[in-house]
Amino acid sequence: MERLDAFMARANAAYYATHDPFADFTTAPEISQVFGELLGLWAAVTWQAAGSPAPVALVEAGPGRGTLMADALRAIRRTVPAFGAALRVHFIETSAALRERQRAMVADAAWHDGLDGVPEGPLLLIANEFLDALPIRQFVRTGQGWAERYVREGAFVVTDHEASAVGAPGAAGEGDIVERGEAALAFVATVARRVAEAGGAALILDYGPAESAPGDSLQALRDGQFADPLAEPGSADLTAHVDFASLAGAAARAGAAVHGPIPQGMFLARLGLFQRTDRLARTQKPARAAALIDAARRLAEPAAMGRLFKAMAITHPALPAPEGFAA
Ligand code: SAH
């Protein structure tokens, strides 16, 4: 018997070590180069608002293929070369196979297993579809109170332990499930503490509701299809919705300012997704131009990735609301 978070951590470590996750799912930076370019420019403008500290760490958590950072650096060097000169790229990545992919895209980065390895000092951190991969716990409401879900031989079992770890679940009804992503909470609290102490900002993009809600959001993608999350650990990508409201609370308690979450579509549109895409499309052959415009729509339209995905920023409290978050 294994607690769900332990199962999920083990399954995902095996999955990311042995699979090309991008055969199973497509993330925003793989959809359009404009995504990474806009986030790079967001970091550059935020860096200027923070007083242009040098040196500064540009950190990405869970960089996947390295596409986002490669696109970001290209836009930064063209548009804000002083930021390009001041920054050092740090990747937080546990998969050796993906580190190799990232090295091919961004040769002069430093790699770390966690935030601890990133040197002290001001930082700009980006995490796209990182927190959804971190392990969660689930609790189910029974007639006798809350019980925690464990995994045994490919099925959920419920303990009869009093799961006192769940806070104030008053309104829940029997059978309701609540989730808690302790790893994501700990990561965000550490980021927020560092930003509050040393300066800078973090930008988190991921999917999940703006308000915490009960429900089982654990999902598995195997060979590009939704699959049983408990079957064949390591063969599927396991994710869960990110609980933005809890993360915002953790960041605020750590002394940082929190902006958003707002829908990804709104955030990207405010950063100029469509203008930049149009400008780029005008320089391309018709088929490629049409593909770029389709890609921008996919990122921003509510029925695609524009609404379920959210953007949230965590900043030093003295900074103004960052680009895209100001009303
Ligand atoms: N941000 C990328 C990839 C998202 S996939 C994109 O948008 O395309 C999730 C990434 O997080 C992968 O790079 C995976 O190896 C990494 N990852 C998953 N769990 C991790 C952990 N506990 N610590 C560090 N990296 C992790």
pLDDT at 275: 97
By CB atoms closer than 10 A (0-12, 13-18, 19+), residue 270 is middle
Residue 49: band (very low, low, confident or very high) from pLDDT cuts 50, 70, 90: very high
Please compute the mean of the pLDDT values over residues 141-146 and round it to a whole number: 83
Residue 91 has pLDDT above 70, yes or no: yes
pLDDT at 171: 60
Residue 67 CA: nearest ligand 1 atom is 8
Q: Rounded to the nearest whole angstrom, what is the distance from the C-alpha of residue 14 to the centroid of ligand 1?
A: 13
Probe ligand 1: pick from 5, 8, 15, 16, max atoms within 8 Å of CB?
16
Q: How far is the CA of 60 from the centre of ligand 1 (A)?
A: 10
User: 64 in ligand 1 pocket by Cβ < 6 Å?
Assistant: yes
Report the C-alpha gap between 236 and 252 in whole angstroms.
Answer: 34
User: Is 172's pLDDT higher than 80?
Assistant: no
Nearest to 310 by CA among 132, 188, 136, 186: 132
On the question of pLDDT at 306 being above 70, the answer is yes
Assess whether the C-beta atom of 239 lies below 6 angstroms from ligand 1.
no
For residue 88, give the 3-state DSSP assignment: strand
**Distance of CA 51 from the midpoint of ligand 1 (Å):** 30
User: Residue 142 has what pLDDT?
Assistant: 85
- Give yes or no for residue 35 having a pLDDT over 90: yes
Question: Mean pLDDT of all residues in the chain?
Answer: 94
Phi, psi of 308 (to 5 degrees): -65, -40
Q: Is ligand 1 within 6 A of the CB of residue 93? A: yes
Tell me the mean pLDDT in the region 72-87.
98
For residues 325 and 320, what is the distance between their CA atoms, to the nearest angstrom? 10
For residue 165, the model assigns a pLDDT of 53
Q: What are phi and psi of 91, to 5 degrees?
A: -110, 135
Q: Across-strand partners of 280?
A: none
* pLDDT at site 83: 98
Greater pLDDT, 274 or 169: 274
Instruction: Give me the percent of the chain exceeding a pLDDT of 70.
Output: 96
- pLDDT reading at 1 higher than 60: yes
Q: What is the pLDDT of residue 163?
A: 59
pLDDT of residue 168: 46
What does the alpha-carbon distance between residue 116 and residue 118 come to, in Å, rounded to a whole number? Answer: 6
- Per-residue pLDDT tens for 105-138? 999 999 999 999 999 999 999 999 999 999 999 9
Cβ–ligand 1 distance for 29 under 6 Å, the answer yes
Question: From the CB of 63, is ligand 1 less than 6 Å away?
Answer: yes
pLDDT at residue 179, as a whole number: 94
CA–centroid distance for 154 within its chain: 27
Mean pLDDT of 57-82: 98
What is the Å distance from ligand 1's center to 53 Cα? Answer: 28
Q: Report pLDDT for 173.
A: 84
Q: What is the dihedral of CA 19, 21, 25, 26, to 10 degrees?
A: -140
Per-residue pLDDT tens for 243-252? 999 999 999 9
Q: Which residues of 317-326 are buried (b: 16+ CB within 10 A; e: fewer)?
A: eebeebbbbe
Q: Is the pLDDT of residue 285 over 80?
A: yes
pLDDT value of position 160 = 67
pLDDT higher than 90, residue 253: yes
pLDDT tens column, 189-239: 999 999 999 999 999 999 999 888 889 999 999 988 999 999 999 999 999
| C-alpha 160 to ligand 1 mean position (Å) | 34
| pLDDT-wise least confident of 49-58, 73-82, 158-167, 183-192 | 158-167
Residue located nearest, by CA, to atom 21 of ligand 1: 94
Which band of pLDDT confidence, cut at 50, 70 and 90, is reported for residue 161? low
Place of tokens 């404009």: 34
Instruction: Give CA separation, 286 vs 30, 35, 37, 279, 293, in Å.
Output: 20, 21, 22, 13, 11
pLDDT band at 146 (very low <50, low <70, confident <90, very high): confident
Q: Is 208 in the pocket of ligand 1 (CB under 6 A)?
A: no
